[in-house]
């Protein structure tokens, strides 16, 4: 399985992905799911994938082939907007799925992609490209996109990520989201890839690969777990823990609520 995250905040973009691929419980491998294409001073793109590995590799091969071609056909370097690049990648994905489907028969050949980056003169943008080639983008209300096994890591993103979140906090949040997912799902695993693209830098200014023994990642995991436990221990106590009479801590409970509590105590 896979888990990839792209976050767009006022100061730029953050991308993070795991590297685990699996063809069964006894065939677990590491594969890079975060791919970058950089043209310093002109444009920068990050492409992340979840789904059929053969389809993903076919899409990447087509992108590289078009970049090397000498004709004037479309490529991620010649298209004039992020919108056009998203359409182009969606078209390549549909074509690759047809090609892989012919060779793999009944196997699932779909792939879902996240494309993000910036072209000089435009603002940074992120797109989620579905297997059918259509796509959506982020919004002020939902400034992040996820693909793969996303449900375990979504709550922390919902609580923390806003447009005004700093790039560094967005990067930390992405790593915590991945770590939370790995604790609940063995199909998502390290090493983790992280890339940061500040607005108008037109380059990946920070890129990291973090494994379980990477000092920063080990410290982040330990700090998050310790502080989470500390905050949990400070949550409001129940009436019976604080030694209060049932219902006295809640002025709006009324006699009925207090009576219900009292009857529960009598049943003990």
Q: Which of 140, 89, 81 is nearest to 112 (CA)?
A: 89
**E strand map for 18-85:** 20-22, 28-30, 34-39, 43-51
Q: Give the span between the Cα atoms of 142 and 162, in whole angstroms.
A: 8
- Specify whether the CB–CB gap between 153 and 43 falls below 8 A: no
Q: Give the span between the Cα atoms of 35 and 89, in whole angstroms.
A: 13
* Two structure tokens written together for 235: 């949550």
**E strand map for 168-231:** 192-198, 206-210
* Two structure tokens written together for 192: 């983790």
* Two structure tokens written together for 87: 């359409």
Position 29 confidence tier, pLDDT thresholds 50, 70, 90? low
- Flag whether pLDDT at 229 surpasses 50: yes
Q: Name the packing angle between helices 167-184 and 215-233 (round to 10°).
A: 80
- Specify whether the CB–CB gap between 232 and 238 falls below 8 A: no
pTM recorded for the entire structure: 0.85
Write out pLDDT tens, residues 101-142: 766 555 688 999 999 999 999 999 999 999 999 999 999 888
Position 185 confidence tier, pLDDT thresholds 50, 70, 90? confident
Q: Phi/psi of residue 186, each to 5°?
A: -75, -10
Q: Which of 59, 56, 108 is nearest to 88 (CA)?
A: 59
């Amino acid at each position: 399985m896979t888990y990839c995250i792209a976050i767009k905040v006022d100061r730029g973009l953050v991308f993070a992905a795991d590297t685990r691929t699996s063809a069964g419980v006894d065939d677990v491998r590491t594969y890079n799911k975060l791919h970058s294409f950089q043209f310093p001073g002109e444009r920068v793109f990050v492409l992340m994938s979840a789904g059929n590995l053969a389809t993903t590799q076919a899409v990447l091969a087509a992108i590289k082939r078009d970049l090397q071609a000498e004709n004037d056909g479309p490529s991620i370097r010649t298209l004039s907007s992020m919108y056009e690049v998203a359409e182009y990648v969606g078209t390549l994905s549909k074509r690759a799925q047809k090609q892989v489907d012919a060779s793999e028969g009944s196997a699932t050949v779909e792939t879902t992609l996240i494309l993000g980056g910036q072209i000089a003169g435009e603002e940074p943008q992120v797109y989620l490209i579905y297997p059918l080639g259509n796509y959506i983008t982020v919004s002020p209300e939902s400034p992040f996109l996820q693909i793969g096994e996303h449900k375990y890591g979504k709550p922390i993103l919902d609580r923390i990520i806003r447009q005004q979140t700093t790039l560094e906090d967005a990067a930390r949040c992405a790593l915590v989201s991945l770590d939370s997912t790995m604790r609940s799902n063995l199909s998502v695993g390290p090493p983790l890839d992280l890339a940061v693209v500040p607005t108008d830098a037109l380059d990946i200014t920070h890129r990291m690969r973090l494994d379980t023994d990477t000092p920063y990642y080990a410290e982040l995991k330990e700090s998050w777990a310790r502080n989470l436990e500390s905050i949990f221990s400070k949550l409001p106590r129940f009436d019976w823990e604080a030694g209060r009479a049932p219902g006295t801590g809640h002025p709006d409970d009324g006699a009925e609520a207090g009576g219900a509590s009292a009857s529960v105590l009598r049943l003990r």
